[in-house]
Chain A
Amino acid sequence: MSSATTPKMTMAQAINTALRDAIAEDDSVVVFGEDVAQLGGVFRVTDGLHRDFGENRVFDTPLAESGIVGMAVGMAMNGMRPVVEMQFDAFAYPAFEQIVSHVAKMGNRTRGKVRLPIVIRVPYAGGIGGVEHHCDSSEAYYAHTPGLTVVAPATNADAYGLLRAAIASPDPVIFLEPKKHYFSKEEVDVSAAVPPIGRAVVRRPGKDATLIAYGPSVPVALAAAAQAATEGRDLGVVDLRSIVPFDDETVCAEVRRTGRAVVVAEAPGFASVASEIAARVGERCFHHLEAPVRRVTGFDVPYPPPKLEHHFLPGVDRILDVVDTLQWEDAA
């Protein structure tokens, strides 16, 4: 797709366009949350939607996350497709009981009679110099909960396409938006085919080792691969797109090809999605591996203050340092 025909938009605009298109196409889609109407969201993701579609489709709620998600459950039970915003990752925690006990389980509790096509949008992760409670990588909580689909776009085009797929899904989707990319511009072809949820994509083929990442860590992994290339090492990058369902097939095909794998993620590493990926790859690719699967993650500390966050976030140097440990000396 050439830049002459494809408009550039920020990730916030891509998500806004996805919401706009979904509301226009399907009368049952409703958008609500805190500050999403008149203000257009604290990140302006819902800018103009209330003006263009009115109070019945896009509305502000009282400030109560459990109430927001709980109301979404009821609206979905009554035929709507709610898309709710949690404003910030750590502000979603009051809704945790609703998400875990109802959103995730309703299909199972009703033997499939009641499906909840809810999308819970969560601006997530760090890198914005945010004060405490504004930068959590909370994906493991959701990924650990059977019944939830967990999606984390890394590109603006995927932010559009995966959100359309999430809204169309019959299952509840936790949609993790890497907030540090809200205002970066990229080409987005809204007429492109909507990517299926549950399929990873190879962002960069490589023959020496595979970096596995999702959400905000994908651009970091790509930068590391570009740097490695200048140093004579050919690293591939797999973008998961969906954490749940997990695409074992694509991930393992790449790792089997390269024989080495590093998982990159911002969240603290202990009992994390990165740990799950490392375990899955180890179980499935053991005979193809030339070195243990390594993880580059955040430290097991609360998300640090703005002045220290650069020490916490996995960066190019830390990734390449870990790549250097992949037992190259044993390579034939």
Chain B
Amino acid sequence: MSAGQLKAAITPARWLDESGRLVRGTPAPDAEALLEGYRRLVFARRLNEQCGALVRQGRLAVYPSSRGQEACQVACASVLADGDWLFPTYRDTAAIAARGVDPVEVLTLLRGDWHCGYDPVRHKVAPQATPLATQLPHAVGVGHAARLKGEDTVVMALCGDGATSEGDFHEACNFAAVFRAPVVFFVQNNKYAISVPLARQSVAPSLAAKAIGYGMPGVRVDGNDLPALEKVLGEAVARARAGEGPTLVEADTYRIESHTNADDASRYRTEDEVADWLPRDPLLRVRTYLTGIGALDDDREREIAAAAEAMAAAVRTGVNAEATADPEELFAHVYATPTPQLAGQRAALRAELDFEEA
């Protein structure tokens, strides 16, 4: 391991600084691509806001917001090709939407239904994982199977800083490195696992530095800097696709809201701390930059906002529509063919329902 590799794992890569200026010595990003990225950031932010409102209206059971992490959400989806896979967590609704899945489908689980809502195979997006880090070995399996089949699929596996303490994080990183699986482990270090701060998860020099122990590259990146994220993640995807194995990418970001609506962040962090992060907002710096170079004007801004508003309206309509959950379907998918016992239990429930309806 070289000093350069260690530095990459500890010092966050940056492209746009907090005031929206190019970091010294970096070339200008592609303006058209960045404008498209900005549009996606606005959509992700609007989706977070809309979901928060739907929780307050009782339309969603719960919503873990990615407000403040939208650049991570957008970047991890935008660097993937159609045949690649995304393995998201419960906080990655906006990333799945950025991948092209209808947000109403994505919100199925959070509306209180029993299934993930979308077709994981069609969209190449795994169900959102709730048990921390358990989806990471799956990502390795999808990647290893692809390699055995001679396909150049890449798998983007998401987790948070808390999940890096789990055994499955370790096992997945190690398996991926040993098998040179085409996986990008993308840790959104938002500094809190519900209430427990990063310092109680790890005293490693950085989370990306853990990659060194597995024999894979680790890269730390400013998690609120969209072009830097797309560059770092894009390079990791390219390495994986070229058969050079996995990369661990850590995004330095911040969870602006509480863990979920059921959480109260004021019990474990100060308002000053949150206020420190607000100016580092991922939308703000892209907007400042694009406006500064003349790529974004008021008309374009209004156009993007109107499109995001239409998306939010469609989410409201979709989520407000009554879900038609069929109680008998509880038994339908447990096995490919229901066992005699499940068929009997379904019939018993049907009889109860018939009695109630009669």
- Whether a CB of chain B sits under 8 angstroms from the CB of A147 is yes
Instruction: Report B105-125 residues with CB < 8 Å from chain A CB.
Output: 114-116, 119-122
For the complex formed, measure the closest distance between the CB of A146 and the CB atoms of chain B, giving whole angstroms: 5
Contact of A67 with B336 in the complex, beta carbons under 8 Å: no
The one of A62, A73, A108, A246 that contacts B334, using a Cβ cutoff of 8 Å: A108
Contact residues in B for A30 (Cβ distance below 8 Å): 148
Q: Which residue of B lies closest to A169 (CB)?
A: B336
Contact residues in B for A67 (Cβ distance below 8 Å): 137, 140, 168, 171-172, 174-175
In the complex the two chains form, what is the Cα distance from A106 to B339 in whole Å? 17
Contact of A64 with B134 in the complex, beta carbons under 8 Å: no
Q: Which residue of B lies closest to A70 (CB)?
A: B137
Contact of A77 with B178 in the complex, beta carbons under 8 Å: no
The one of A79, A80, A97 that contacts B134, using a Cβ cutoff of 8 Å: A97
In the complex the two chains form, what is the Cα distance from A76 to B126 in whole Å? 12
Contact of B334 with A64 in the complex, beta carbons under 8 Å: no
Interface 0/1 of A81-118, CB less than 8 Å to B: 01000000000001001100110001111111111000
For the complex formed, measure the closest distance between the CB of B63 and the CB atoms of chain A, giving whole angstroms: 19
- Whether a CB of chain B sits under 8 angstroms from the CB of A71 is yes
Contact of A102 with B134 in the complex, beta carbons under 8 Å: yes
In the complex the two chains form, what is the Cα distance from A67 to B333 in whole Å? 25
Contact of A97 with B137 in the complex, beta carbons under 8 Å: no
Q: Which residue of B lies closest to A104 (CB)?
A: B334
In the complex the two chains form, what is the Cα distance from A300 to B104 in whole Å? 50
For the complex formed, measure the closest distance between the CB of B162 and the CB atoms of chain A, giving whole angstroms: 16
For the complex formed, measure the closest distance between the CB of B302 and the CB atoms of chain A, giving whole angstroms: 39
In the complex the two chains form, what is the Cα distance from A34 to B138 in whole Å? 18
In the complex the two chains form, what is the Cα distance from A72 to B121 in whole Å? 16
Contact of A114 with B120 in the complex, beta carbons under 8 Å: yes
Cβ-Cβ contact count across A and B, 8 Å cutoff: 140
How many residues of chain B get a CB closer than 8 Å to chain A's CBs? 42
Contact residues in B for A61 (Cβ distance below 8 Å): 175, 178
For the complex formed, measure the closest distance between the CB of A106 and the CB atoms of chain B, giving whole angstroms: 8
Interface 0/1 of B329-341, CB less than 8 Å to A: 1001111100111
In the complex the two chains form, what is the Cα distance from A279 to B108 in whole Å? 38
- Whether a CB of chain A sits under 8 angstroms from the CB of B45 is no
For the complex formed, measure the closest distance between the CB of B10 and the CB atoms of chain A, giving whole angstroms: 26
For the complex formed, measure the closest distance between the CB of B246 and the CB atoms of chain A, giving whole angstroms: 13
Contact of B172 with A70 in the complex, beta carbons under 8 Å: yes
Q: Which residue of A lies closest to B128 (CB)?
A: A109
- Whether a CB of chain B sits under 8 angstroms from the CB of A190 is no
The one of B115, B131, B142, B336 that contacts A78, using a Cβ cutoff of 8 Å: B142
Q: Helix, strand, loop or mixed for chain B's interface?
A: helix
Q: Which residue of B lies closest to A27 (CB)?
A: B149
Q: Which residue of B lies closest to A101 (CB)?
A: B131
- Whether a CB of chain B sits under 8 angstroms from the CB of A248 is yes
- Whether a CB of chain A sits under 8 angstroms from the CB of B100 is no
Contact of B127 with A70 in the complex, beta carbons under 8 Å: no
Given A61-B175, A79-B149: A98 in contact with B167 (beta carbons within 8 A): no
Contact of A66 with B121 in the complex, beta carbons under 8 Å: no
Contact of A62 with B145 in the complex, beta carbons under 8 Å: no
- Whether a CB of chain B sits under 8 angstroms from the CB of A41 is no
- Identify the interface centre among B140, B153, B168, B335: most chain A CB within 10 Å of its CB: B335
- Identify the interface centre among B120, B139, B141: most chain A CB within 10 Å of its CB: B141
Contact residues in A for B329 (Cβ distance below 8 Å): 111
- Identify the interface centre among B142, B167, B333: most chain A CB within 10 Å of its CB: B333
Contact of A73 with B141 in the complex, beta carbons under 8 Å: yes
Contact residues in A for B146 (Cβ distance below 8 Å): 78
- Identify the interface centre among A56, A75, A246: most chain B CB within 10 Å of its CB: A75
Contact residues in B for A245 (Cβ distance below 8 Å): 335, 339-341
The one of B141, B334, B339, B340 that contacts A74, using a Cβ cutoff of 8 Å: B141
Contact residues in A for B116 (Cβ distance below 8 Å): 109-111
Interface 0/1 of B232-260, CB less than 8 Å to A: 00000000000000000000000000000
- Whether a CB of chain A sits under 8 angstroms from the CB of B136 is yes
Contact residues in A for B172 (Cβ distance below 8 Å): 67, 70
The one of B119, B121, B137, B333 that contacts A108, using a Cβ cutoff of 8 Å: B333
The 9 A-B residue pairs with the shortest CB-CB distance in the complex, in nearest-first order:
A74-B141, A70-B137, A67-B171, A78-B145, A74-B138, A245-B339, A71-B141, A170-B336, A74-B142
Query: Can you list 6 pairs linking A and B with CB atoms under 8 Å apart?
Result: A67-B175, A70-B137, A75-B145, A77-B141, A113-B120, A169-B336
